[in-house]
Amino acid sequence: MTETTDRLESGDRVELRFPARGDLIVLARLVTSAISARAGFDIEELEDLRLAVGELCLLTLQGSDAQHGDLRLELNVLGDAIEVVCTLERAGIASTFEPEGVEVARLSEQILDALVDEHGRESRDGSVRAWLRKRRGGHAE
């Protein structure tokens, strides 16, 4: 057996853009796996990041009319950390308020609290942006 995976170094950046559909969030997770493996994250951290990025995408989609929008995912390797920024572009704000959407977003944020070091969400210039940062080697136990 030989491991042929090439490492990503601090400063390396990967960007992915795809139609803002829930069934395509799998693409974000797959890219996250590949990037975190190459950035030296162990398998548990990798799974945490993958789960967290799924939540990040969900969070970005909440409250938006994402029918015609795109999700743009940026993954930045920063020293011993990965920063993931998810932006919803070209989508309007939802015309109807969905109370369950608030609950979904709150759960996603709570899950992110438990899985990553930092995260945040903001709306700017008509686009929603959510981000997270996770260091490797950060197991508390």
Could you say whether residue 9 binds other proteins (CB under 8 A)? no
Cβ neighbours of residue 31 closer than 8 Å, sequence gap 6 or more:
14, 16, 73, 75
Amino acid letter, 6: D
Span interacting with other proteins, options 37-45, 64-72, 75-83, 93-101, rule CB under 8 A: 37-45
Of residues 130, 122, 131, the one with CA closest to residue 76: 131
Could you say whether residue 30 binds other proteins (CB under 8 A)? yes
Query: HSE on the CB side for 88, CA within 13 Å?
Result: 30
Q: Name the residue nearer to other proteins (CB basis): 73 or 95.
A: 73
Read off the DSSP letter of residue 7.
Answer: P
Q: Name the residue nearer to other proteins (CB basis): 31 or 66.
A: 31
Binding site for other proteins (CB under 8 A): 1-6, 26, 29-30, 33-34, 42-45, 47-48, 51, 106-107, 109-111, 113-121, 134-135, 138-141
